Amino acid sequence: MWSYYGSKSKIIDLYPSPKFDKIIEPFAGSARYALKYFDRDVLLVDKYPVIVKIWKWLQQASEKDILGLPDVNKGDDIRKISLCDGARMLIGFCINGGSVEPKNIGTDNIKRNFNSWNKDKFRISKQLYKIRHWEIKLGSYADIENQEATWFIDPPYQFGGEHYKENNEAIDFENLSDWCRSRKGQAIVCENTKADWMDFYPIREMQGSVHKTVEAIWSNYPHNFTAQQEELF
């Protein structure tokens, strides 16, 4: 729905489709996988309260609520506009693309820090029906009951995940590796190829704001990347 640092928006179609009726995103963020398969039974969990507040606000918002939100242009300060928390946080992400937290001042429509809010609100207003039935929880991945589902596991990366408000410093990757392997059902784990806590397959080279990285995947189910040409490794 909104722009978020590390979101899977550009590569979501590369991941295997869900084999189970329930989808769990234990590190939800902007939950691109759940949005793609929105009609399943969906559970989102994130430790960052802002993320959960936005999802919950969107879940009860009407199309009219979203369309009634003001445009924000370059230099506008949204602290000067009367908004509820959920709306302010949502707009705060959309006026400053790719951020780890909502911002207050509208940016320009230039390549970096893209402000897409004035268009986003039309798109978001048309997608609200997708999330009405979702379960959305504030908490840690480790609190979720193990259950048969498709688990789309996209934690802050071991190398590169330090910028999040709830970042990689609090994650024990050895434990997380065991936790991923012990999921009932299908586990799809996202990382980049610098990570060493599971045997990840490369998927796609990505140009970040400064460096290039290679997105990678681990899954307990066979997937297309296991059939990759050897010279690409």
Q: Is 32 near ligand SAM (CB under 6 A)? A: yes
Among 1, 23, 43, 51, binds ligand SAM (CB under 6 A): 51
Residues in the chain: 233
Q: Work out how close the CB of 179 gets to ligand SAM at its nearest, in angstroms, rounded to a whole number.
A: 10
Q: What is the DSSP letter of 165?
A: S
Query: Rounded distance, CA 206 to CA 3, Å?
Result: 17
Q: Which listed range, 56-64, 88-96, 150-158, 195-203, lies at the site for ligand SAM (CB under 6 A)?
A: 150-158
* Position 97 contacts ligand SAM (CB under 6 A): no
Comparison of 120 and 154: residue with beta carbon closer to ligand SAM: 154
In angstroms, rounded to a whole number, what is the distance separating the alpha carbons of residues 23 and 150? 5
Give the residue from 56, 114, 111 showing the smallest Cα distance to 85. 56
117 lies in the binding site for ligand SAM (CB under 6 A): no
Residue 76 as a binder of ligand SAM (CB under 6 A): the answer is no
Q: How many helices (H) and strands (E) does the chain have?
A: 6, 7
Q: Minimum CB separation from ligand SAM for residue 229, in Å?
A: 27
Q: What is the largest CA-CA distance in the chain?
A: 57
Return the closest-CA partner of residue 166 out of 5, 16, 35.
Answer: 5
Determine whether 208 is exposed, middle or buried from the number of CB atoms within 10 Å of its CB (0-12, 13-18, 19+). Answer: exposed
Nearest distance from residue 2's CB to ligand SAM, in Å?
Answer: 9
Q: Does residue 48 belong to the site contacting ligand SAM (CB under 6 A)?
A: yes
Contact between 88 and ligand SAM per CB under 6 A = no
Does 191 help bind ligand SAM (rule: CB under 6 A)? no
In the three-class reduction of DSSP (H, G, I as helix; E, B as strand; rest coil), residue 137 is classed as: strand
Question: Under the rule (CB under 6 A), what is the footprint of ligand SAM?
Answer: 4, 6-8, 26-27, 29-32, 45-48, 51, 140-141, 154-156, 164, 166
